Chains A and B, each alone.
Chain A
């Protein structure tokens, strides 16, 4: 089955710095890769996603890159703000895209 590894498990940055979170996946058939942000006590919220026919996608301060050959994808947050502090989960599609397997999460702390 699919396995998703996520690193680092915790990340602390100063406000205004960039943050990068990396994930690797095992199933070469996976072709959809969303990223979720979960604040304490709240639901996971989709922040960006990418499909395998695209190498990079941007949405304001957030970008995701995908390397299908190496089977890894990354989340990039620029000009971080304290409100970016949360747990971030990557995920990869599984079972012909019918389900998602999540990474273990990265706790991002942005200090002002």
Chain B
């Protein structure tokens, strides 16, 4: 059973569309993460939120815009994506930011047409 819930599971969008990915956890974790994973590659860190504030942005293009409305929710807003952005987008959370186990959601498989 997954304690980090991501929606939607699959998303197909055109390069001019605007869409959002959502992530929710109810474990009381105060750190939340977005990762991008291409096939047969490791997860690549995109953003880290700690206590609802953005603490790390791994030089991600501005067409990806994260948002943390509260301690349980994390969104990733998408706009004007490119075909190379097609990937599995994983959300994770941890109890606190430093050296704690990260628990992943099932991911959103994103395809850009």
Contacts and interface: CB of A to CB of B under 8 A. Distances in A.
Interface of A: 31-32, 34, 36, 42-46, 49, 51, 87, 89, 93, 95-105
Contact of A51 (B90, B99, B103, B104): B99
Determine chain A's interface SS by DSSP, over half rule.
strand
**Which of A93, A95, A96, A105 has the most CB atoms of chain B within a 10 A radius of its CB?**
A95
Contacts of B100: 32
Interface in B86-112: 90, 97-107
B42 A42 contact: no
B106 A43 contact: yes
Given A98-B48, A102-B42, A45 B104 contact: yes
| Chain B interface mostly | loop
Interface of B: 2, 31, 33, 40-45, 48, 50, 55-56, 90, 97-107
Contacts of A34: 101-102
A105 B41 contact: yes
Contacts of A45: 104
A101 B104 CA distance: 15
Contacts of B42: 89, 102-105
